[in-house]
Amino acid sequence: MKNKIIILFVAVALANLAWAASPKPNILWIIMDDVGVEFPCYGEKAIQTPNVDRLAREGTLFTRAIITAPVCSPSRSAMITGMYQTSIGAHQHRSGRGTEKIHLPPGIEPAPALFQRAGYYTCNVPYDRKGKGIGKTDYNFEWDENIYDGNDWAGRKPGQPFFAQIQLLGGKLRESNWLTDIAPKALGALTPPERVTLPPYYPRDPVLLEDWAHYLDCLRYCDLQVGDILKRLEDEGVLEQTLIIFMGDHGISHAREKQFLYDGGIRIPFIVRGPGIARGAVRNDLIEHIDMAATSLAWAGIAIPDRMQARDIFGKNYRKRDAAFAARDRCDETVERIRCVRTDRFKYIRNFHPQRPLLQPNAYKDGKPIIQRLRELHAQGKLSPMQEQVLFSPTRPVEELYDLQADPFETKNLAADSKHRRTLEMLRARMDRWMRETGDHGPESERMYDSDMAVYLQAMRKRPERHRIIEENIRQMKQWAKEGK
């Protein structure tokens, strides 16, 4: 018996030594622009994405992953720091780009800097991997570009682990010549618009159906890119020592998704595959996209900073979130402030500018054919009463409450329903506490707004019509502010 115990002890010791001597895992984030959960592994029926399905089959899929900001730059500022964008003052879209700058609070650093100090080769891979620069960052704060060693992990030393981000255009492909020049050859037949299932707050109009079909084709193309990434990792012999996190930076670019706090805007795909990750597992607990920072650091054996708000979602002492939070603030020239808290069943939304319409003037969104078509249908009286109320009400309630089990598309506001008063009060208090405890930076100063608008207008100087519209919208924002709206 004594000999068996000694043998067992030696075996355990050797196993621990082998683990300690093993190379650190590589960390790879695959990040897509403007992409929601319209993948087959999340229930989409109109298309097939075998490579994303493979990630889900060989890893763990999260069904309730919530982005903390429904537009690129705030969500990416939060993602890279593991902090709420509202806590670090990076919550206004494309802010800090002018003479007024934003600096991270003391003790807060972008994750690549932490990986770099731990001996990792850090890189940010651009969409096509052909350019000399790094991939998309879009951070709303001042940062040192040297936190990235390059734009491809091919530049690392032999045996050096890498921390990499690969940026995929995702739904933004619809805004390029991809549809006519690349998609037909890459995908073959495109998705027929008649196969599309739209949310009920959109009419089955040909313009909307075609656009959504093109969006689904963007996901099919992303799937091909994921296949290429997996093949490269396999060919290099590093797939099984690489932790892969696959996610979108917010939902589809449409009227009520991107830029808003309904689930179409903040619920994202989030799949993790790698050494030690459960295969074929599905987790329904709430996570936030910032958790990828803490999880990645922990997996690499790097201490998670004390101030980081992200959580290691695979940690032994992981405390599951009973609620997830998100915030929408200024997008381009359009001033806005919305906050939400989401539990398994309910969502509470607070509108700080209730006297303004949901679809405020915005040059970026108003330039899209889908928004133009919706406005045409609204003017012609061809929308249903529910669609009119949800999309074109001239004002909004201060508070919104939705039962996500009974109403997953969030069309029936229960905030005034006495049956749900207790839930409303509880979530209202929860929101107040979150804003207070996380140090929500609140509204943007007029000085910062003017600073960033000067940069935005300068960028549009060669597009005179767009420039004119933005100027008009800026004047509207300032007029509404004077009126207390």
The tally of domains found in the chain comes to 2
**161 and 250 co-located in one domain:** yes
Give the tokens for residue 343.
């539990």
* Amino acid in the structure at residue 183: A
Half-sphere exposure of residue 388: CA atoms within 13 angstroms, side-chain side: 9
Report d(CA 221, CA 205) in Å as an integer: 25
**175 and 101 co-located in one domain:** yes
Residue with tokens 């229960």: 414
Report d(CA 318, CA 414) in Å as an integer: 33
Boundary-marking domain end, from 320, 337, 366: 320
- The string of DSSP letters for 309-363 reads ----TT-TT---BS-EEEEE--BTTB---EEEEE-SSEEEEEES-TTS-SS---H
Asked if 304 contacts 314 with a C-beta cutoff of 8 angstroms, the reply is no
pLDDT (tens digit per residue) in 147-167: 999 999 999 999 999 999 999
Report d(CA 89, CA 258) in Å as an integer: 20
166 beta partners: 30, 125
This prediction has a pTM of 0.94
What integer pLDDT is reported at residue 483 of this predicted model?
A: 97
Distance of CA 262 to the CA centre of its chain: 13
**How buried is residue 161: exposed, middle or buried, by Cβ count under 10 Å (0-12/13-18/19+)?**
buried
**342 and 247 co-located in one domain:** no
pLDDT (tens digit per residue) in 201-243: 999 999 999 999 999 999 999 999 999 999 999 999 999 999 9
**How buried is residue 476: exposed, middle or buried, by Cβ count under 10 Å (0-12/13-18/19+)?**
middle
Which pLDDT band holds residue 9 (cuts at 50, 70, 90)?
very low
Q: Quickly list H helices, 146-205.
A: 178-181, 183-187
Check whether 6 has a pLDDT greater than 70.
Answer: no
Domain at 366, CATH number: 3.30.1120
Task: Name the pairing type of β-strands 281-283 and 60-62.
Answer: parallel
Say how many C-beta atoms besides its own lie within 10 A of residue 425's C-beta. 11
Check whether 460 has a pLDDT greater than 90.
Answer: yes
Boundary-marking domain end, from 285, 320, 355: 320
What integer pLDDT is reported at residue 21 of this predicted model?
A: 41
Domain at 244, CATH number: 3.40.720.10
- Print the domain residue range for 141: 23-320
What integer pLDDT is reported at residue 132 of this predicted model?
A: 74
